[in-house]
């Protein structure tokens, strides 16, 4: 994959969104299967995946979903990684990881350094650090991240204006952008291109 800091554009749900990311070239994109205004069905995700460049990995976003649903989607090779945003425990994480054979990303809310410390021995392959329950479009205090030996994605209120500062302060494995790449609730090709250009040229 390209670049030092990986880039994930999350919440794609239209064919034109796929056209935009195919041109811009992030490392990951996200399909949201959890209840959300960006939610996609399995059929929609399958159709969108067929339009996507093979160079871009797909993350499926779930929240307290039935494990069988996740395994059904992974078996169809619609997604390459599983991202969990609910109250999933370590047994759940290990089960999904072992049965699907896919890397698992666990989203956590960070309000103090201990929030990250307690997940350092998690079965998750990656962590995703967000504000509150996620999807708020708001940043959190990056000073609360502290040290992490487990690679993490930084999320929460990231956009073209603050993305480089965020990376310089937190040194994440990757960044996760959703509302920061939108205009009026829909993905904006110019914003996607601008964010990725700024990071690639950093």
Question: Active-site positions?
Answer: 10, 130
CB count in 10 Å sphere of residue 168: 10
Rg of the chain over Cα atoms, rounded to whole angstroms, equals 16
Residue whose token pair is 């205090």 = 141
Please spell the DSSP secondary structure of 108-164, one letter per residue: EE-SSHHHHHTTTT-S-SEEEEESTTS-S-----GGG----SS-EEE-SS--TTTHH
- Helix axes 67-75 and 42-51, enclosed angle (nearest 10): 30
CB count in 10 Å sphere of residue 110: 23
């Amino acid at each position: 994959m390209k670049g030092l800091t990986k880039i994930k554009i999350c919440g794609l749900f239209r064919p034109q969104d796929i056209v935009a990311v195919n041109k811009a070239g992030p490392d990951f994109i996200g399909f949201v299967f959890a209840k959300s205004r960006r939610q996609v069905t399995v059929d929609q995700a399958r159709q969108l995946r067929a339009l996507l460049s093979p160079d871009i990995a797909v993350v499926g976003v779930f929240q307290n979903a039935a494990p069988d649903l996740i395994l059904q989607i992974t078996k169809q090779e619609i997604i390459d990684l599983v991202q969990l945003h609910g109250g999933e425990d370590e047994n759940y994480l290990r089960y999904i990881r072992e049965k699907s054979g896919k890397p698992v990303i666990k989203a956590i809310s960070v309000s103090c350094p201990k929030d990250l410390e307690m997940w350092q021995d998690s079965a998750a392959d990656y962590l995703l650090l967000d504000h509150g329950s996620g999807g708020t479009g708001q940043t959190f205090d990056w000073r609360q991240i502290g040290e992490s030996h487990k690679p993490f994605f930084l999320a929460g209120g990231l956009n073209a204006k603050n993305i480089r500062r965020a990376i310089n302060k937190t040194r994440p494995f990757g960044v996760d952008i959703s509302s920061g790449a939108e205009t009026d609730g829909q993905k904006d090709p110019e914003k996607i291109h601008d964010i990725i250009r700024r990071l690639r040229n950093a």
